[in-house]
Amino acid sequence: MSWLVTGGAGYIGGHVVRAMVEAGESVVVYDDLSTGSRDRVPQGVPLVVGSVLDAAGLEKAVRDHEVTGVVHIAAKKQVGESVERPLHYYRENVTGLQVLLEVMAGAGVDRLVFSSSAAVYGMPDVDLVTEDTACLPMSPYGETKLVGEWLIRAASAAHGVRSASLRYFNVAGAASPELADTGVFNLVPMVFERLEAGAAPRIFGDDYPTPDGTCVRDYIHVRDIASAHLAAARRLRDAEPGTALTLNIGRGEGSSVREMVDRILEITGNEEHAPEVAGRRAGDPARVVASADRIRAELGWSARYGLDDMIESAWLGWRSRRP
């Protein structure tokens, strides 16, 4: 098979491409480079620069590289920005997926791994979030991911598309410094940015109904995210037409924000910067931790890396860009 990886020059996409190439899969990257980088694309892997809104560009890439399956990671993903620019997010994430599905249908490509998100759940009031937990997204970003799952499910039913929608939880870490996340939108790089400025890390709210009062999240190494995509792609290779999987990607373990910040300070040697507590951020649920039972049963996959691996590798990547 030949896999088209949209968004394959981005943070998560770059890791997925590397994992697939190292496993012997044939891969071509399709990316508009709005947030991705050519440096993340392995040598010898074709890079097609284009938007998923460009049907002609997608059709050419699929035809020229004899694509038989798609891993769709390209998307806008900043929750706050999605609130400010909902039309932009719906166009990029929903219309872009619609165009991709139309191109796939026209070309007879019937295998799709979709990058979804735990944002589809919103604020679940459960100890462990299963794939059957009600989806009540709280941002346009989360809405676009849920609508994307609906679109794919409809395409599976109508056109026999074999699909796997993967709902990521809190991604961190890097397989190597050059693949590290360059954005500052998640907890780990946000703490790094504060430390670099000589400021104390911030914790937003310490009065939640959790053991230490701070939010509890399920953190997952990006290398585990990548291996889950590879496992899903291989599962779809021999799947029955119309197969439509929806799977959480998490460790099934919760860690509080305070625990994470304290561990970051220790690993980076910045224990003198005691965290400061600010008020709660609107929309932050107290606890969001994945149940990873279904992905283990369907794909034989489970997470391999722990918190220290995530923090240490992310710190190496951060320092490599700031010598």
Catalytic (active site) residue 208:
no
**End-to-end alpha carbon distance in the chain:** 41
**Cα 41 to the center of its chain, rounded Å:** 17
Tokens 């320092």, residue?
319
CATH number of residue 303's parent domain = 3.90.25.10
Domain count, the chain: 2
Task: List, for residues 217-267, the tens digit of each pLDDT value.
Answer: 999 999 999 999 999 999 999 999 999 999 999 999 999 999 999 999 999
| Whether residues 99 and 199 fall in one domain | no
Residue 323 confidence (pLDDT): 64
Question: For residue 265, what are the domain limits?
Answer: 174-217+252-320
Helix ranges (H only) for the chain are: 11-22, 55-64, 79-84, 86-89, 96-107, 140-159, 187-196, 222-237, 257-268, 293-299, 307-320
Neighbours of 250 (CB within 10 A): 29
Region of residue 212 (phi > 0: left; psi between -120 and 50: alpha; otherwise: beta): alpha
CATH code, domain with 28: 3.40.50.720
* Residue 150 shares a structural domain with residue 183: no
**CA nearest 199: which of 269, 258, 274, 266?**
274
**65 pLDDT higher than 90:** yes
160 and 296 inside one domain: no
Judgement on whether residues 19 and 54 belong to the same structural domain of the protein: yes
Catalytic residue among 11, 30, 90, 141: 141
> What is the pLDDT at residue 314?
97
Polymer length of the chain: 323
Report the percent of the chain where pLDDT is more than 90.
94
Predicted confidence at residue 206, as pLDDT, reads 96
